[in-house]
Amino acid sequence: MPEKHASVHWEGAGKTGKGQISTETGALKAYPYGFASRFEDDRKGTNPEEILGAAHAGCFTMAFAFALEGAGLAATSIDTKAAVRLVKDGDGFKIDRIALELEAAIPGIDEATFQKIAAGAKAGCPLSKALASVPEITMKATLKS
């Protein structure tokens, strides 16, 4: 399997500096980030936690779709949100929680099977495994009718 690549360019000090995040696919092409977009409510840039949340939601959703397929099922729609919480930790910071919210429409599935497949996808997705040091990764799964 090929490696995936991303890069960052930063100029200046921590609080006053500015950076740009890029991905090899161009999904993020010199996208700005800095102190205000990470620790304040500045919406003019991104931040590592937002990108991590998008990656985790994407990984989990794909794992869920594959798990459904393995059970002979297919979703009409799957929508996932991820909330990543960054908190103060001594002199630094840490991610202490990631909350996944899944909403899916799946013909022919019962609630118990839906919850079991969702829990398995959460546990088995490569990013969930990589993020095992996060103290709390929650999931709320809602089956739409």
Shared domain check, 104 and 52: yes
Q: Which residues contact 16 (CB under 8 A, 6 or more apart)?
A: 35
* pLDDT for residue 44: 86
Report CA 1 to chain centroid distance, whole Å: 21
Shared domain check, 121 and 60: yes
Give the CATH number of the domain where residue 100 resides: 3.30.300.20
User: pLDDT tens for residues 65-81?
Assistant: 999 999 999 999 999 99
User: pLDDT tens for residues 74-101?
Assistant: 999 999 999 999 999 999 999 999 999 9
Shared domain check, 91 and 21: no
Q: Is residue 1 part of a domain?
A: no
Shared domain check, 84 and 28: no
| Mean pLDDT on 95-109 | 97
Shared domain check, 129 and 67: yes
Q: Is residue 116 part of a domain?
A: yes
Shared domain check, 52 and 35: no
* pLDDT for residue 42: 83
Q: Which residues contact 75 (CB under 8 A, 6 or more apart)?
A: 64, 65, 68, 104, 105, 106
Shared domain check, 67 and 131: yes
* Overall number of domains in the chain: 2
Shared domain check, 57 and 100: yes
DSSP labels, the chain? -----EEEEEES-TTT-EEEEEETTSSSSSEEEEHHHHHS---SSB-HHHHHHHHHHHHHHHHHHHHHHHTT---SEEEEEEEEEEEEETTEEEEEEEEEEEEEE-TT--HHHHHHHHHHHHHHSHHHHHTTTSSEEEEEEEEE-
Shared domain check, 120 and 54: yes
Q: Is residue 98 part of a domain?
A: yes
Residue 56 lies in domain: 48-144
User: pLDDT tens for residues 12-66?
Assistant: 999 899 999 999 999 989 889 999 999 888 888 899 999 999 999 999 999 999 9
- What is the rounded average pLDDT for all residues in the chain? 95
Shared domain check, 14 and 59: no
Backbone region of residue 57 per phi and psi (left: phi > 0; alpha: psi in -120 to 50; beta: other values): alpha
User: pLDDT tens for residues 112-140?
Assistant: 999 999 999 999 999 999 999 999 999 99
* pLDDT for residue 121: 97
Shared domain check, 58 and 11: no
pTM comes to: 0.92
